[in-house]
């Protein structure tokens, strides 16, 4: 049995996560988006938004202590705004995929922040859509809605749902969120 953890990022992890972010963007859109002239993916403004701004919560996912991905939560979702949170970015390294790591990390996030949520996947990212629908079947209290929405020149698949159990209390997440079979 192996430990999966999801912990708030520590200062010493920033450089490593910056590198993972490059793999993430390439994975998400490398077949569609050009690389920047300096060889990195996504313009500087995108990276500024990722690393700065209020209402952000950045987490590092580890499997057996090794870096396995990251998750970025933002208060004030892009489409719903206000009191709705979004998971803006979410990444599991290929080595650890299809082993329940993403599901454990996502469930831990929803437990940590019970309430109203929004998710948005790029229209071409069918794997992520299947992944999130599967997670939502576990965590959405009253089902979820799904619509296609434009975001600039991108078409997104957008879900809205609630994770607050009526009368339920927030379960403050410890870093270790579960174990998976090795
Ligand atoms: C999407 C992602 C986070 C899934 O992480 P993961 O750790 O592999 O997910 P899990 O193992 O918990 O998958 C749970 C279920 O989701 C679905 N799923 C996950 N990846 C899938 C894929 N590539 N194709 C189809 N269904 C998939 C399956 O139903 C899976 O259950 P199963 O393996 O028993 O069939 C990961 O593939 C990833 O980081 N992708 C690149 C970045 C990305 O797209 N992020 C999401 C942005 S919205």
Q: Which of 116, 34, 119 lies closest to 71 in space, CA to CA?
A: 119
Indicate whether 178 pLDDT > 90: no
For ligand 1, residues with CB inside 6 Å are 24, 27-28, 90-92, 97-103, 121, 125, 127-128, 130-131, 134
Nearest residue (CA) to ligand 1, atom 1:
128
Confidence grade of residue 67 (pLDDT, cut at 50, 70, 90): very high
pLDDT at 182: 42
Q: Say how many C-beta atoms besides its own lie within 10 A of residue 66's C-beta.
A: 11
What residue owns the CA closest to ligand 1's atom 5? 102
Model pTM score: 0.94
Question: To the nearest 10°, the Cα dihedral for 60, 116, 98, 171?
Answer: 60
Residues in the chain: 182
- One-character DSSP codes across 63-83: ETTEEEEEEEEEEEETTTEEE
Task: Please tell me the chain's helix, strand, coil percentages from 3-state DSSP, rounded to the nearest 5.
Answer: 30, 40, 30
- Reported as a single tens digit per residue, the pLDDT across 93-119 is 999 999 999 999 999 999 999 999 999
Amino acid 176: pLDDT? 67
Determine which residue's CA is closest to atom 18 belonging to ligand 1: 131
Task: Look at the domain 2-180 and name its fold.
Answer: Aminopeptidase (3.40.630)
Domains of the chain, by residue range, sit at 2-180
Candidate of 24, 63, 69, 98 to mutate for ligand 1, largest count of ligand atoms within 8 Å of Cβ:
98
Judge whether residue 148 has pLDDT over 50. Answer: yes
pLDDT for 14 beyond 50 = yes
Nearest CA to ligand 1 atom 7: 102
CB 16 within 8 A of CB 67: yes
Strands 56-63 and 81-92: unpaired
Residue 167 has pLDDT above 80, yes or no: no
Residues 60-87: what's their mean pLDDT? 96
């Amino acid at each position: 049995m192996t430990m999966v953890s999801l912990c708030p990022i520590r200062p010493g992890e920033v450089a490593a996560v910056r590198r993972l972010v490059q793999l993430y963007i390439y994975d998400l859109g490398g077949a569609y988006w050009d690389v920047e002239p300096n060889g990195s993916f996504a313009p500087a403004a995108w990276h500024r938004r990722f690393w700065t701004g209020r209402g952000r919560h950045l987490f590092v996912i580890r499997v057996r202590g090794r870096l396995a991905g990251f998750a970025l939560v933002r208060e004030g979702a892009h489409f719903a705004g206000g009191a709705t949170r979004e998971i803006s970015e979410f990444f599991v390294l290929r080595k650890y995929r299809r082993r329940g790591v993403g599901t454990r990390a996502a469930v831990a996030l929803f437990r940590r922040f019970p309430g109203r949520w929004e998710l948005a996947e790029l229209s071409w990212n069918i794997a992520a859509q299947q992944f999130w629908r599967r997670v939502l079947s576990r965590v959405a209290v009253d089902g979820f809605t799904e619509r296609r929405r434009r975001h600039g020149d991108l078409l997104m698949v957008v879900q809205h749902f609630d994770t607050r159990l009526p009368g339920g209390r927030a379960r403050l997440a410890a870093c270790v969120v579960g174990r998976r079979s090795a």
